[in-house]
Structure 1
Amino acid sequence: MTSEMGDKEPSNLSPKTSSQNISVAEDIEHEELEECTSQYLLSKNTSSFRCLAQVLLSNSSLMKNRLYLFPPLVDPGIDEAFYYSKPEPVYDDVGVEKYLNICRELEIVPLSRIIKSLDGDTMNLKYYGLTVKQFRAVTEALKGNEYIEHLILEENFLNLEMTVMLCSMIEENSTLRNLNLRGCRIGEVGAKLLSEALLSSQFLTELDLSFNEFGDVGLKNLQQGLCDTSSLKKLNISHNNLTEDSGETLERILLDNKSLTNIDLSWNGFYTGPGNKKLFNGFKQNDQITVLNLAWNGISIKPAIAPVAKYIKASTALEYLDLSSNRLSGKPLRMIRAAILKNQSLITVRIGNNPYPPDEAFYVASVLTSKPKDHPLKYLDMENILFNKEIVPLLARIRNSGKTIKIGGILSNYIIKGPDVAKLIFERCRYLLTKPKKKKAKRDFGHFILSLPENPITRQEFDTLLKKKKIKKLDKDLINGLTDKFPMKKKIDCGGMVAAYMNLYPETCLPPVKVSAKKGKGKNKKKKVEENIEELENEIKVHDLEPAKSLQNTVVTSNVSEKKIQSQLRFSSNPVATELNE
């Protein structure tokens, strides 16, 4: 009993206190029941409303308020939540955010080039090799873009699905002006899809469809779009395997589309008469073309070149014509030259890389001088065409007239310039005279040259001078070559020979005069010898004299007698005399 009584907590509350507590609890419960309304229960944070906040009453509330007339339930937004649809996002006119969201949805990495280009006027995706997902993101971003005017998709292979995306973008974009699809290989089917897109877009001004392999059928599929695009001014359909069958298609395009001013038909097959006749009929009817490129079409025969020549003669708008890299020569080439002469609007003509000879090349180049100076033709490109030397005066006249011509080269336009023959002869003579091993046999050829007189001499006199100087090592042919190099009225120009030698060897000078000295006796004689030596030194000073005449005359006119010097130095032991003797 003791343990049981000990486990119970002692109660210090009196009966009066407990009754008061009960009455207070009843009052609180009564107040809570009075405040139990639908709005109160909705805002009350209890465990029963933790997950079902939209329910106005719980089971416990109903049990406690059996006689309370609850108000009707108000929809908390269940219908709105059930039929909820995500609103379309609002993007700016740049499209960066839209591009990033699409990349996130497609789970691809955004390209920084695209992000940086969206707010500029050019997007260059050349050689990027875009996948289908990447191309979808780009085209979707460009649909609302109001900045990109030049889109370059060169060498990105576009399959049918990607071509559909591109056409959809073209239809919705009103800012794009220049579209480059070079090498995208859209083919015949892609050309048909693109034609439908061009019908819906009237904003493109330049379209490059080169290297797309759509052929004659593809151009036929593209015809309607090109005919009805009134904004298109520049069209490039080169490298598309077009033949004479496309002549009629292009004729229809040129007749219907009067906005085209620049068309490139290079690297196709417009080399037949019937095809070119239809094609250039369209050109004649559409006198808006200012730039025409017909390079690399293999045009060579007269029936194929005749429509071209007629169009050139009649055109009043054509300013640039490219007929390079065809097979023009002979009669077709002369027809083109005659047409250029009669045309009054051409500024630039390219007719190089054609197999015509130098004579015909000169005939074509003369078109620049045949026209008056005020004629608009200013530039003639004849790249890789060779000329004869007769073109040199013509080139000077063209240059003086302010016009420009580009040529491949001039045959034999050179002057043969060999070695200096005089120098070779002089070097040979110097070598032969210094070749002997014995010192006494060696001679200085420069001393001989400086000993020559100024006036011309005969060959016999020249040989006499050689013998006098004991020059025997020079053979007859070498001497003949030397004398033939400096002729002057059947004589030898010694002055010219000396001048030529001194020009090559300016350090050459006459040798010092040799004086033989002997020992003398007596002091008086020594003094006299010293005085005479001083006078002699003053008289025979060697100066750097040019030309050779002055050197020779200085030595010859010295009034010192060799015998007198010998007698004066006979008994002298002066070291100066000894040095002179040596």
Structure 2
Amino acid sequence: MESDDSEGDQEKPIEDVYVASSYLSSSESVDSLEAYIEPEPEPCSKMKLYMQGLYSPGSGEICAKYIAMSASSVLRHPYYDYPAVVDPGIVIALKYPEPLKIYNDDGQDLYLDLCKQMNIIPIRIFHRGLLTEEIDLRFYGVNPAGVRAMSMALARNQTVRRLDLTSNFLDHLDATYHIGQMLGHQNALTELILSGCNIGCKFLRRVVNRLSTRVMDLLDLSGNKIKDEGFPSLTEQIFRGAVIKRLNLRRNDLTSDSLALLAEVLEFHNHTTHLDISWNKFYKTQGAIQLIRILRQSEVLVELNLSFTSLCVGVEIGALLRIKTLEVLDLSNNRLTTRAAKIIAKNLVLAKSLRILDLSFNPFIPQDALEILLSLKNEEIDKLEELRMDFIEVNKEFAQELKEIRELEFRKNTLITHGHVLRNYTLQSYDMKVIYLKQLVTLTSRKKKQQPDGFDILVYILDESKKRQTLEIPELQRIMKKAGAPIEDDFIIGISKSFPGPKTEAKLRPLNLDMLADYIHRIYPDKQPTPTPLETPPEPVKKKKKGGKKKKQ
């Protein structure tokens, strides 16, 4: 044992340890023996596959070392027996649904995948715009078939707030349907511009079908030919709770019936701040009156455009000026008369917030424009910045008052426009009787050189006026034709109406010769009738003298 201690510094082989352990006494515990037993080795990869039933060692016969044997298209090595082919996913495909692909909320990946599925070319501007607040596709020529992919990409987008599709023809069932479905989702879109998209009354219902749950800052449906037939689909959504702050309905062939319907809806759901219903046909005033009365109660209306609507109201204009929040009022190109001008001049002081008032192209007379202008002398109307009266004729007094008003301290920055300034002169009135008479003289004077006898129509009329009272139209035509100056039908009708004689069975009255002669004496005082030759007295008969001288035988 001492030798063992002396050689302790040297490493002993493991075999000696096992040998020494065989001479241990029986008194030692079994636990000390178990400490020297090695753990079982981990099975190899082939053994693992064999235990799973995925590997077979084969017959054990070994052929040549490197010989490949072909069985169909599968190559087998003589040393190895490969496991069976694992299921590539057929069972999962048949028993379980396809796992859904999760897209980001921006919709970019979804848009590209949808375009790939639909075999259409994606719009690069739209794809990039999904990460911005505004997508501008005005006049882009968007294919209606691609609107489906665009709408689905915008359905969950929380970035885009404004979508402009101006002048892209979307008169397609599928396109309008998907736009309406997109509005039904909770996205960030608050401004939708569909101006000039030719939607029409047929497809408008599909666009606004799910609008009742949204709050829109702007909805532009101008130039879509909605007409009275399609307008109820929009008012129905407003009645159900849709909030549209800026509503543009210009150029939609709406009539007064649509105005009456809009008035009924706004009476209970009036959240509109900007309303544009210009370029429509409001010939009947009843619908316009109903709408104005409802708008009078509004506490949020800021801008109202009623231009090019053939509007013809009077007292109701004063109700518009009483809206406390109204800042812009456009009444241009309508049929407002003197009565409306007086109401505007009287109630302009009540428009506390009005900044712009446009009255251009209305049939006002110069005095109407002057009354409206004089109301601006009131210092209480200090917020008015623009008063437009383009193409409304004014007089000299208006020009003088305008010069004085512009010199006022609170009117230095006020813009006032007007039309042509009339001068103080009177137009000379023409008597058609004189014109027709002079035309007769002109026509006959051209042929004087060809008339050796010197025919004069005026002298002829004076001569005939002494003999009779009327001159038949056919006779006048024969006389003028004989004189070498035939007259046209328009001239005959005009002279017959200017110098009318008594009524006859003929269509045209004969000429009154007395009236003609009177005008000839006024215009041509030197003209005299042909003098009649004096009658020579008969020669006196000589009386024979009684008796007489006797003849010389």
Q: TM-score, normalised by structure 1?
A: 0.56
> How many Å apart are 1:356 and its aligned residue?
2.1
In structure 1, what is the equivalent of residue 392 of structure 2? 385
In structure 2, what is the equivalent of residue 402 of structure 1? 412
The 1-side partners of 2:160 and 2:56 are apart by 55
* Structure with the higher fraction of residues in helix conformation: 1
1:50–1:287 distance in 2 versus 1, CA, 3 Å? same
Q: Does 1:305 align with 2:314?
A: yes
1:152–1:195 distance in 2 versus 1, CA, 3 Å? same
> How many Å apart are 1:35 and its aligned residue?
9.4
Q: 1:366 aligns with which of 367, 374, 385?
A: 374
> How many Å apart are 1:293 and its aligned residue?
0.8
In structure 2, what is the equivalent of residue 98 of structure 1? 110
- Asked whether the 8 Å contact 2:360–2:388 carries over to 1, the reply is yes
Q: 2:239 aligns with which of 227, 236, 239?
A: 227
1:162–1:78 distance in 2 versus 1, CA, 3 Å? closer
The 1-side partners of 2:118 and 2:112 are apart by 10
Q: Does 1:190 align with 2:203?
A: yes
The 1-side partners of 2:151 and 2:289 are apart by 41
In structure 2, what is the equivalent of residue 120 of structure 1? 132
1:362-417 Cα distance to aligned partner (Å, 9 max, x none): 22222222x2156322321222334333334433343332342332445379xxxx
- Asked whether the 8 Å contact 2:151–2:179 carries over to 1, the reply is yes
> How many Å apart are 1:250 and its aligned residue?
0.8
- Asked whether the 8 Å contact 1:127–1:155 carries over to 2, the reply is yes
1:206–1:155 distance in 2 versus 1, CA, 3 Å? same
In structure 1, what is the equivalent of residue 55 of structure 2? 41
1:99-122 Cα distance to aligned partner (Å, 9 max, x none): 222222222222222123221111
Residue pairs, 1:229-308, within 5 angstroms = 229-300=241-312, 304-308=313-317
The 1-side partners of 2:128 and 2:48 are apart by 67
Q: 1:161 aligns with which of 171, 174, 183?
A: 174
- Asked whether the 8 Å contact 2:145–2:174 carries over to 1, the reply is no
- Asked whether the 8 Å contact 2:136–2:165 carries over to 1, the reply is yes
In structure 2, what is the equivalent of residue 331 of structure 1? 339
The 2-side partners of 1:246 and 1:394 are apart by 42
- Asked whether the 8 Å contact 2:238–2:269 carries over to 1, the reply is yes
> How many Å apart are 1:173 and its aligned residue?
4.2
The 1-side partners of 2:316 and 2:357 are apart by 17
Percent identity between the two aligned chains: 29
Residue pairs, 1:60-79, within 5 angstroms = 79=91
> How many Å apart are 1:295 and its aligned residue?
0.5
The 1-side partners of 2:75 and 2:300 are apart by 77
Counterpart secondary structure, 1:366: helix
- Asked whether the 8 Å contact 1:142–1:173 carries over to 2, the reply is no
In structure 2, what is the equivalent of residue 133 of structure 1? 145
Counterpart secondary structure, 2:219: strand
- Asked whether the 8 Å contact 2:212–2:242 carries over to 1, the reply is no
> How many Å apart are 1:139 and its aligned residue?
1.3
Counterpart secondary structure, 1:114: helix
- Asked whether the 8 Å contact 2:315–2:343 carries over to 1, the reply is yes
The 1-side partners of 2:194 and 2:47 are apart by 79
1:271–1:333 distance in 2 versus 1, CA, 3 Å? farther
The 2-side partners of 1:207 and 1:247 are apart by 18
> How many Å apart are 1:274 and its aligned residue?
1.9
- Asked whether the 8 Å contact 2:244–2:272 carries over to 1, the reply is yes
- Asked whether the 8 Å contact 1:187–1:218 carries over to 2, the reply is yes
The 2-side partners of 1:76 and 1:217 are apart by 59
1:516-569 Cα distance to aligned partner (Å, 9 max, x none): xxxxxxxxxxxxxxxxxxxxxxxxxxxxxxxxxxxxxxxxxxxxxxxxxxxxxx
The 1-side partners of 2:401 and 2:272 are apart by 37
> How many Å apart are 1:78 and its aligned residue?
5.1
Q: Does 1:342 align with 2:350?
A: yes
> How many Å apart are 1:294 and its aligned residue?
0.7
The 2-side partners of 1:374 and 1:237 are apart by 31
- Asked whether the 8 Å contact 2:106–2:156 carries over to 1, the reply is yes
In structure 2, what is the equivalent of residue 578 of structure 1? none
> How many Å apart are 1:263 and its aligned residue?
0.7
1:265–1:42 distance in 2 versus 1, CA, 3 Å? farther
1:40–1:90 distance in 2 versus 1, CA, 3 Å? closer
1:249–1:374 distance in 2 versus 1, CA, 3 Å? closer
> How many Å apart are 1:322 and its aligned residue?
0.7
Note the aligned Cα RMSD (angstroms).
Answer: 3.5
1:211–1:307 distance in 2 versus 1, CA, 3 Å? same
1:395-454 Cα distance to aligned partner (Å, 9 max, x none): 3343332342332445379xxxxxxxxxxxxxxxxxxxxxxxxxxxxxxxxxxxxxxxxx
Q: Does 1:80 align with 2:92?
A: yes
1:276–1:403 distance in 2 versus 1, CA, 3 Å? same
In structure 1, what is the equivalent of residue 190 of structure 2? 177
In structure 2, what is the equivalent of residue 319 of structure 1? 327
Amino acid of the structure 2 residue aligned with 1:404: T
1:76–1:236 distance in 2 versus 1, CA, 3 Å? closer
The 1-side partners of 2:227 and 2:416 are apart by 34
1:330-355 Cα distance to aligned partner (Å, 9 max, x none): 22322233232333332221111222
Name the count of aligned residue pairs. Answer: 362
1:485-542 Cα distance to aligned partner (Å, 9 max, x none): xxxxxxxxxxxxxxxxxxxxxxxxxxxxxxxxxxxxxxxxxxxxxxxxxxxxxxxxxx
The 2-side partners of 1:398 and 1:46 are apart by 111
The 2-side partners of 1:404 and 1:181 are apart by 36
Q: TM-score, normalised by structure 2?
A: 0.59
1:312–1:288 distance in 2 versus 1, CA, 3 Å? same
- Asked whether the 8 Å contact 1:348–1:377 carries over to 2, the reply is yes
The 2-side partners of 1:382 and 1:342 are apart by 20
In structure 1, what is the equivalent of residue 546 of structure 2? none
1:359–1:75 distance in 2 versus 1, CA, 3 Å? closer
The 2-side partners of 1:42 and 1:199 are apart by 70
The 2-side partners of 1:222 and 1:99 are apart by 29
